[in-house]
Homo-oligomer: A and B are copies of this chain.
Amino acid sequence: MSKHPEGKHIKVGILGATGTVGQRFITLLAQHPFFIIHALGASTRSAGKLYPKAANWKQTTPIPAIVRDMIVHECDPRYFVDCAAVFSGLDADAAGDIESTFRNADLAVFSNAKNYRRDPHVPLIVPLANASHLSMISQQRALHQPPLSKGFILTNANCSTTGYVIPLVAMEKAFGPIETCMVTTMQAISGAGYPGVSSLDILDNVVPYISGEEEKMEWETLKILGGIAEADDGTKTFDMHSRHPLRVSASCNRVPVIDGHTMCVSVRFSRRPPPSPQQVREALVAYTPLAQTIGCPSAPVHAIFVHEEPDRPQPRLDRYYQDGAGVSVGRVRQCPVLDIKFVVLANNVSIGAATSSIINAELSILKGVVVA
């Protein structure tokens, strides 16, 4: 195991450690070059148990050695005081209070939950898309009562939003504002957690509805693709892409796929004439987010892999590419209604969830927002 550039191991904690996202955090962090799992938190039902007893382990790799003898605690900050970063895989019904409590205890929380995504002081960061929003952390700390020196909450986005905003950001970077976006998703069952979707509801079936999902995609996209406006008094606000109003229409479906959200996307640019499909493909290939240039160890080599075959990406074949840390795009072609349409595949349990939080923490370390 290599170490942090400065040669330190950095202690981290995991909230909701027994759940689906928590298990994924453990799997990924157990082999991380500088994060080291130090504390595990879960519900009172699990607290006090050895991790293997507390968790109904559902990963395809065995429980990592490092947590095999670890005791699960309640989600109380006192067990996490030594953690430079705390990853939250909590369910929404628990995340609100617990994450707030951890921030109050001056801890840095990297949350996968939806609760604080709409908070005007909390950055909603897809690490391959809008790492610049880290700049909001200092204001979040300053406005806290009392002001915090280290604590904050930073969230990643919904798993569907995450996948498709990465190519959208790459396109806006190359060709300027997008003004219209239509997206239809075909989402994996793992996105609903465990036990989540009943097999009777999804085998040989499509469910053309996921509660709240379309609203999340339509709203989160604006926060992520938007910039940060600064008032005369220095106060920062997320501008929600308001300088170039963007309309997003999402249609969300559940399909019988285990991992990997597939999305059909069509966009219209402000710029006339719009870029050609080939120009878009080149811009996607060329896109290099900060997480790569700054050397985040969990960032993929290819933020966006562009397929040339007509029938790719496919979730079963492409979801594990680069350990699911990048996104795959294919079928970039002209849209008879808007400008360009394409298919994007994102691994919802990797870049769509735990991997995003981890890269966000890596960014925070490497940018000095978190001092370990």
- Chain A positions within 8 Å of B, measured between CB atoms, are 58-62, 180-182, 184, 186, 189-190, 194-209, 211, 218, 247-249, 251, 253, 255-258, 262, 264, 266, 310-318, 320-321, 330-331, 335-338, 341, 343
Q: How far is the CA of A11 from the CA of B171 in the complex (A)?
A: 46
Sort A-B residue pairs by CB-CB distance and give the 6 closest, nearest first: A195-B198, A184-B184, A205-B316, A209-B311, A251-B264, A249-B337
Question: Is B209's CB under 8 angstroms from A200's CB?
Answer: no
Chain B residues with CB below 8 A from A315, complex form: 204-206
Q: How far is the CA of A331 from the CA of B209 in the complex (A)?
A: 8
Kindly provide the distance from the CB of A214 to the nearest chain B CB, expressed in whole angstroms.
9
Which single member of B206, B318, B336 contacts A186 (CB below 8 Å)?
B206
Q: How far is the CA of A218 from the CA of B181 in the complex (A)?
A: 20
Kindly provide the distance from the CB of A253 to the nearest chain B CB, expressed in whole angstroms.
7
Chain B residues with CB below 8 A from A247, complex form: 336-337
Kindly provide the distance from the CB of A206 to the nearest chain B CB, expressed in whole angstroms.
5
Kindly provide the distance from the CB of A191 to the nearest chain B CB, expressed in whole angstroms.
11
A184-B251 contact, Cβ under 8 Å, with A311-B207, A311-B209: yes
Which single member of B60, B248, B264 contacts A337 (CB below 8 Å)?
B248
Which single member of B184, B186, B310 contacts A209 (CB below 8 Å)?
B310
Nearest B residue (CB) for A311: B209
Kindly provide the distance from the CB of A280 to the nearest chain B CB, expressed in whole angstroms.
16
Kindly provide the distance from the CB of A103 to the nearest chain B CB, expressed in whole angstroms.
32
Question: Is A249's CB under 8 angstroms from B204's CB?
Answer: no
Question: Is A330's CB under 8 angstroms from B199's CB?
Answer: no
Kindly provide the distance from the CB of A146 to the nearest chain B CB, expressed in whole angstroms.
41
Which single member of B182, B204, B330 contacts A182 (CB below 8 Å)?
B182
Nearest B residue (CB) for A206: B262
16 A-B contacts (beta carbon < 8 Å): A59-B317, A181-B337, A182-B182, A199-B199, A203-B204, A203-B256, A204-B204, A205-B315, A205-B316, A208-B313, A208-B331, A211-B310, A218-B336, A249-B341, A251-B341, A253-B262
Chain B residues with CB below 8 A from A194, complex form: 198, 200
Kindly provide the distance from the CB of A282 to the nearest chain B CB, expressed in whole angstroms.
21
Q: How far is the CA of A182 from the CA of B194 in the complex (A)?
A: 34
Chain B residues with CB below 8 A from A312, complex form: 208
Q: How far is the CA of A203 from the CA of B189 in the complex (A)?
A: 10
Which single member of B197, B253, B266, B311 contacts A208 (CB below 8 Å)?
B311
Question: Is A256's CB under 8 angstroms from B321's CB?
Answer: no
A255-B186 contact, Cβ under 8 Å, with A206-B315, A248-B337, A314-B207: yes
Kindly provide the distance from the CB of A10 to the nearest chain B CB, expressed in whole angstroms.
30
Chain B residues with CB below 8 A from A202, complex form: 199, 203
Nearest B residue (CB) for A262: B206
Question: Is B256's CB under 8 angstroms from A256's CB?
Answer: yes
Question: Is B200's CB under 8 angstroms from A58's CB?
Answer: yes
A317-B198 contact, Cβ under 8 Å, with A208-B343, A337-B182: no
Nearest B residue (CB) for A209: B311
Chain B residues with CB below 8 A from A310, complex form: 209, 211
Chain B residues with CB below 8 A from A338, complex form: 182, 249
Q: How far is the CA of A258 from the CA of B256 in the complex (A)?
A: 12
Q: How far is the CA of A218 from the CA of B338 in the complex (A)?
A: 14
Q: How far is the CA of A315 from the CA of B203 in the complex (A)?
A: 10
